Amino acid sequence: MTLAVRYTAARTLDTAPAETSSPGPGEVELAPAYVGICGTDLHIFHGDMDARVSAPAVLGHEMSGRVVRVGPDVEGWRPGDAVTVMPLRWDGTCPACASGHRHICQNLDFIGIDSPGAMQQRWTVPAATLVRLPGSLALDRAALVEPTAVAVHDVGRAEVREGERVVVVGGGPVGVLIALVARAAGAEVRVVELSTHRRLLAEELGLTTWDPAADDVPEAVRQWTGGAGADVAFEVSGAAGGVGTAVEVLGVRGRLCLVAIHPRPREVNLHRFFWRELTLVGARLYDRPDFERAVTLVADGTIPAERLISKVVPLTEAPAAFGALEAGGDVMKILVDCGNDTTGA
């Protein structure tokens, strides 16, 4: 019998025993080492995703760990291999899959939302979801590969190019990761963030920040760009004001990449889109090349994952950690230690 963190009702989590079954054909049993708590997990915690989540539900999809057992017909994996999981299971038959966009399959099973996630001591997943980790990469840092893959996909969707001016609205974990990935692509980047703690952390990573409560961000962009406006803006805040800022800072034919999940419709200045011939692109999830690129960026230190980890808590303290994240303050990324960070797991 192993332990798992479960969502049981709105704002209610517990840590309870979980059954472990042998991996079937095409499946692999993993020993999760670390699991990150992300914004989607908080949405589930708040009860906002009850239409998709069947309680009791095991949460978590940002993870690292090791292979324990492989099922029949699984090749290329063996016990002890260090892995992360791209938590997507698509049907392969819907129109999205048929057009080559299986990561946004119209019947997508997002593992950790639509089916049991990684916040448990043993976890069985399809072998096709595994992504290999280099042996030199510490497993706590590797837990940030999944959100880094999100950032890689976002920067790719926005087609960020070397020398472009990029504004990231929202300096939480994904916003900072987008800024770092865009910088690695050769862009000049500015981060807009209300939280003093998050601005200071971004600045320690070499990023320039603006406080929208104190700075006139559109005017700052005009001065920075010589009046041209930004080439790309990422809306990562999830706030109505963030949408307005992201639209206003863009120059002629600028691109707005929508990353945050907005639970309700927002007012958008469409005249600005008309007047400056702006482009809006959505960015959701990732595909395998994004994940593989993310592994490289975390492993080579381009993404200083250790600087983004605020706290590591044991599995039994995970429910309390959700409250700490919700409260904000001096917290960026909290990892749950599942107790499996050993080579012999």
For the whole model, what pTM was predicted? 0.97
The answer to whether 43 is a known catalytic residue is yes
pLDDT at position 165 is 98
The answer to whether 101 is a known catalytic residue is no
pLDDT along the chain (345 residues), means of 10: 94 92 95 96 94 95 98 97 98 97 98 97 98 98 98 98 98 97 98 96 98 98 98 98 98 98 93 98 97 98 97 95 83 95 57
- Catalytic hit among 15, 43, 197, 208: 43
- Catalytic hit among 40, 124, 209, 245: 40
pLDDT at position 311 is 94
pLDDT at position 330 is 84
Rounded CA-CA distance 105/88 in Å is: 9
Per-residue pLDDT of 109-122, as tens digits, reads 999 999 999 999 99
Contacts of 104 (CB under 8 A, 6+ apart): 96, 284, 285
Contacts of 220 (CB under 8 A, 6+ apart): 190, 210
